Amino acid sequence: MTRRNLISLAPAALAAQEVYKHGADSMRQSGVPQGEVTKFEYRAKEIFPGTVRDYWVYVPAQYKPDKAACVMVFQDGQGYIADDGNLRGPLVLDNLIHKGDMPPTIGIFVSPGVMPPLNPQQQTRYNRSYEYDNLGNQYGQFLLRELIPEVKKQWNLSGDPNDWALCGQSSGGICAFVTAWHYPEHFRRVVSFIGSYTNLRGGHNIASIVRKSEPKPLRVFLQDGSNDNNIYAGSWWIGNQDVHAALDFCGYDTKFVTGTESHNMKHGGPILPDAIRWVWRGYGQPIPKPTGKGDRFFVNQIVDIKSDWEEVSGNHKFTEGPAVAPDGNVFFTDVPGEKIWKIDHATGKASLFRDNTGRANGLMFGADGRLYACQGGAKRIVSFGMDGSEKVLAENVTSNDLCLTAKGDVYFTDPPEKKVWHIDPQGNRKAVVTQGLEFPNGVVTSPDYGLLLVADMRNKWIWSYQIQADGSVANGEPFYRMEVWDENSQSGADGMTTDSEGYLYVASRLGLQVCDQPGRVVAVISKPHSGSLSNVVFGGPDLNTLYVTAGDRVFRRPAIRRGVWPWKPVMPPKPGL
């Protein structure tokens, strides 16, 4: 068996075929105890409804009910079961566990789902591509909420994510990676053979997402052959190289074994023992989060990867509207709770600032030191003094978020009416400055007040408008392009803030997306939990702490970049093109 780790971009046609043979770890060995394999059928309940699938559970001879076992899930599991097949999954696990090359591990071999027809004159719906090539989180949800709980009813499974692995080939390979990517809190080890990182359902985007995203604690083994598919969806050979290069760029523990085969497992089958041995090596030590090493790996310029989000306030109903005060403390709203809270930056403790807020949502401090608010329930725009005084700027308006300029211009979004409004500094005139966006939500100015930026949360665009001398806006463009996953084409772009470099920070479903001045997402900071972010602001007296509102809680994290005071114009440096 020949293995090569050198990646070549030479045309596949120039590569001579190599012959790969199964080694001793893929053969039955005397003295090696055999685990037990049991076949089951599963009918999906909530996720992939109507589908039926077979799955097999392998339990090693070393399993003891009083000790939680590791878990390895194999997609296209039907292809691994036979001892005389190409993959020989249970046999390989028997040998590796016996040799101590991996811990006692329960193998779950899962077939893709099919939806049977109601009668013989109708066709079956085959779910494999929908489940496996989909870039969303549905398959991970299926494993975690439906299938694996069935296995847990009979066997004791570890709860440590370092003890969970995924394996697959072709579409099952990309499925293994995407599932771990969405759920690193459950899966940390990935084996992908001839992975379909091409545009069957958007898989060609994975490499760029990896490069932009805050690294996750994953270990990834990849394999492909130089004669793999080159079809309408792309080149599998190039796609696998692209994903490996992205993982390496971000500092992941990754290995790419290359060969000369086409889209088959003639190479992957014989090296299955090596792949499994590699992902389980050093078992007992947790898989670390990479620190990033590539040039212009922007996450490292935004936050310290070694840090994490710290919860500073919880047990609310829905948090929104974080705003930094002149002393660096941060105020936020609990919209349905009709409360405004204040976080003392020095202590991280929250205290109630105001009750009965009229369902206040978006907040921002102005140059006058007052706290401006969108009162969605009372249908007003108001400002609060620190002594509790309240001043009404506009009535009979629906609103969600707002921002101010140093002169006192107020801009606020009106999502139901698809409008953005302007109130002049004297509060004498309110006017619509733009309309027609599908759902205008977050709004912020550029640090120099030259541009008004509006998030349309029901698609992937942040609009940029030029602010005119009279407060109106012109020359609008869908300028910033948000990243989205398959489960929803809406970015969920919500509250926003900027830093002193002119970069834009957008709270979204995917995470905290950071855009450079030319409008490109250059970094995606991980969310503190699986839900969406609703808003973001820089806080602290030096504006070097990111605060985010997320569901019923507020989190913060040290930042390398610094924010800008909303009432002090800053001219950002000229961007590189």
* Collapsed DSSP state (helix, strand, coil) of residue 509: coil
Phi, psi of 71 (to 5 degrees): -135, 135
Please enumerate, as own/partner, the contacts of 330-333 that have beta carbons within 8 Å and a separation of 24 or more.
330/537, 330/539, 330/547, 330/554, 330/556, 331/363, 331/365, 331/371, 332/363, 332/535, 332/547, 332/549, 332/554, 333/357, 333/360, 333/361, 333/362, 333/363, 333/373
Q: 356: how many CB neighbours lie within 10 A of its CB? A: 11
Interatomic CA distance for residues 84 and 27, integer angstroms: 9
Helical H segments across 468-516, by residue range: none
- What's the half-sphere exposure (Cβ side, CA atoms, 13 Å) at 339? 14
C-alpha to C-alpha distances, 565 to 385, 538, 541, 560, 562, nearest whole angstrom: 18, 9, 10, 16, 10
Nearest Cα residue to 193 out of 295, 106, 270, 303: 270
Query: For each of the chain's 577 residues, which pLDDT tens digit applies?
Result: 344 444 444 444 445 678 999 999 999 999 999 999 999 999 999 999 999 999 999 999 999 999 999 999 999 999 999 999 999 999 999 999 999 999 999 999 999 999 999 999 999 999 999 999 999 999 999 999 999 999 999 999 999 999 999 999 999 999 999 999 999 999 999 999 999 999 999 999 999 999 999 999 999 999 999 999 999 999 999 999 999 999 999 999 999 999 999 999 999 999 999 999 999 999 999 999 998 777 889 999 999 988 999 999 999 999 999 999 999 999 999 999 999 999 999 999 999 999 999 999 999 999 999 999 999 999 999 999 999 899 999 999 999 999 999 999 999 999 999 999 999 998 888 999 999 999 999 999 999 999 999 999 999 999 999 999 999 999 999 999 999 877 678 899 999 999 999 999 999 999 999 999 999 999 999 999 878 899 999 999 999 999 999 999 999 999 999 999 999 999 999 987 7
